[in-house]
Amino acid sequence: MRRIWKIYRLLAAQNLKRLMEYRADFLTGAVSFLIDQAVGIAFIFIIFTQIPQLAGFTFEQVLFIYGFSQIPKGLDHLLSDNLWCVGYFIVRKGDFDKYLIRPINPLFHVIAETFQIDAMGELIVGIGLLIYASPNAGLHISVWTVLLSIIAVPFAALIYTSLKIMTAALAFWIKSSGFIIQMVYGMNEFAKYPTTIYSLPVRILVTYIIPFAFTGYYLSLYLLTGSDPWFSIGGVILVSCVLFAISLFVWKKGISAYESAGA
């Protein structure tokens, strides 16, 4: 374990150094990210100039859900961004070879290679919104609700990571799965808002099939209502563990189907 941590630290430190070097790239990323977030938040503002409540939630509560949903998203983004590259080109170009001839877990190796500082944007916006919205959102604050919610955050992030592992691993068979990761990942847009505003098929989709609802709406529900922790917190943990197990299985199968690329 100490070895794993040391390797991770070495690689992450290198990533930060690289960041300093490619500053233009970093700034462009930060600006496009800010625009994206600004649009999302402006959308909520506009809706609430027209209506007082959205599916029974006040302005602050919706902002709280939005903010909370950005935290697991940001955590996953920070830690496992390299999975996109697996889907887009690492497998297709045969560059996956090197992960297979090193005596550490290839999945860990891939993930450790990138420490995506861009994700700070999501984390800052998320935490900022929580701080802004919390006083007036009518939260049920107790040791339990806060503790359980904090515990659930890494599991919610694991839902993101698992979905990315699964879809990235498809590249082992079809060579390039970037589009598919994009499509599945894109569903997280639904997690930012109360799931109850969507039609039934969408609700089923984001709850049971691509369960992003657990990373935002259901995750915040316990703090908002103070009831039913088994569904919201238990659900997040259960769903993430099941998904993670499936994703590891798919990944492992994928590796034995890996075909490399001509030299």
Partner 1 sequence: MIYAEHLRKEFKKTVKSPGLKGSFKALFRPKKEIVVAAEDISFHVPEGEILGFIGPNGAGKSTVIKMLTGILTPTSGFCRINGKIPQNDRKKYVREIGAVFGQRTQLWWDLPLQETYLVLKEIYEVDDDRFQKRMAFLNEVLELESFIKSPVRTLSLGQRMRADIAASMLHSPKVLFLDEPTIGLDVVVKDNIRQAIMKINKEEKTTVILTTHDISDIELLCDRIVMIDKGKNVYDGSLRELRENFGQSRELIFETDPSATLTTDQFRNGLNLKGNDLVIEREKNTFKVRFNSAKIPVGKMLSYTLSLTKVKDISVKDADIEEIIRNLYRQGEFMDE
Residue from 89, 175, 237, 238 touching partner 1 (CB under 8 A): that is 175
Q: For partner 1, which stretch binds (CB under 8 A), given 43-51, 67-75, 96-104, 201-209?
A: 96-104
Q: Is the dihedral of CA 231, 135, 49, 43 positive or negative?
A: negative
Q: For partner 1, which stretch binds (CB under 8 A), given 101-109, 129-137, 143-151, 197-205?
A: 101-109
Alpha helices in 134-214 (DSSP H): 143-169, 171-174, 178-186, 200-204
Retrieve residue 202's tokens.
């969408």
Residue from 44, 176, 197, 238 touching partner 1 (CB under 8 A): that is 176
Convert residues 24-53 into a mask of x (bound to partner 1 by CB under 8 A) and - (unbound): ------------------------------
If you search the block for the tokens 């005596």, which residue do you land on?
A: 103
225: contact with partner 1 by CB under 8 A: no
Helix (H, G, I), strand (E, B) or coil at 57: strand
Torsion of CA 22, 74, 177, 175, to 10 degrees: 60
Q: How far apart are CA 233 and CA 239, in angstroms?
A: 10
Rule CB under 8 A: which residues touch partner 1? 3, 6-7, 10-11, 14, 18, 21, 94-95, 97-98, 100-105, 113, 170, 173-177, 179-180, 183, 256-260, 262-263
